[in-house]
Structure 1
């Protein structure tokens, strides 16, 4: 059984985390728009890689502004998400302490250690998912579906790594052709960021709902009622 007074996850913190992810996605959409504009200016002269200097400067300035917005919004959104992650680890840890391989402090520390942050938060998320999943009713076979965790983490890691690669290409670009190619790669990274943010929202909402349900209704899944013929 669950311990008396098992904590219920805060809906306010969930709303803040989802709102931060939504702002990150909106900044990525703005970056996509700015990228399309910069690419259009470069290719404006009949498909040749040439552009009037004034238009090019304006488009490049807008693209750099979009990048600053992304950085400005990403940091507070990441902090809020990690706070939610830690609170969820603490709450689910009270439900099923034997499900976890590491202490609750790792729900914060795992994000801060290079290389470790590529896999350890995923392990913690899987442990939380298992702890928040109701136990099967007697005689019932049930296995938690972990695809929301796998989808979120796969998209997140791939988008981060690809964004760093695109950033290096853009920083080292010298000719208009190189700038255009780097912008295209950055735009692909923005699309990945948007999809990863949507997957993170799904994971966050699902896990919070599972934890609240288990905290309020008990550890077992309700038995499925069987219809009986008259």
Structure 2
């Protein structure tokens, strides 16, 4: 039996139900991640005087603005890590450039998973053919695998930032002595 022969057993309602469940979990995870990112960004701003590349509004907005969403969120996470790193002095004038593998993998899998999922031309077809369904299945499978890898690395990024912030004295930079003056 081939995929084409089994097309009559395709249940679009069951597929749609799985898609809705996947989307609900995805939206919930995104909301939790963005709320967490806003909080750790606020902490990071207190730890060092060095400015971040993007204002506070971009912590949330950068995920929703087309084109900008491809790089601003990663830069925001990079800046939070740099500001949270105990090696960054409280009175630093700029954040050190960091290129961490864990962040790069997290971000690359996030972008790749989303691009693959929405790049399929049959994704919006009213009456999908067997070929469309096979292409969609392969795209959704690849996107799902990348999303799972992304989630694993997102947890690693969360743990990294949490550990960095926990390892630093929780004193605002303006309450610390500037050793350059003394």
With the shorter chain as reference, the TM-score category is 0.7 to 0.9
Q: Which has the higher contact order (CA 8 A, sep 6+)?
A: 1
Q: CA deviation at 1:128?
A: 0.8
List alignment gaps of at least 5 residues for structure 2. Answer: 89-96, 174-182
**Structure 2 length-normalised TM:** 0.79
| CA distance in 2 between partners of 1:118 and 1:105 (Å) | 16
| CA distance in 2 between partners of 1:48 and 1:192 (Å) | 25
2:114 to 148, 154, 160: 160
1:174 to 128, 148, 151: 128
SS at match of 1:129: helix
Is the aligned partner of 1:200 residue 2:154? yes
Is the aligned partner of 1:113 residue 2:65? yes
CA-atom RMSD in angstroms: 2.7
* Aligned partners of 1:129 and 1:146 also within 8 Å: no
| CA distance in 2 between partners of 1:215 and 1:111 (Å) | 30
Higher-helix-fraction structure: 1
Q: CA deviation at 1:144?
A: 5.9
| CA distance in 1 between partners of 2:52 and 2:163 (Å) | 20
**Structure 1 length-normalised TM:** 0.64
Distance 1:96 1:179, change over 3 A: same
1:123 to 75, 98, 114: 75
Q: CA deviation at 1:100?
A: 1.4
Q: CA deviation at 1:103?
A: 2.6
Q: CA deviation at 1:145?
A: 5.9
How many residue pairs match? The answer is 166
| CA distance in 2 between partners of 1:88 and 1:112 (Å) | 20
Is the aligned partner of 1:187 residue 2:163? no
Distance 1:49 1:95, change over 3 A: same
Is the aligned partner of 1:71 residue 2:23? yes
Distance 1:178 1:104, change over 3 A: closer
**Whose Rg is larger?**
1
* Aligned partners of 1:86 and 1:105 also within 8 Å: no
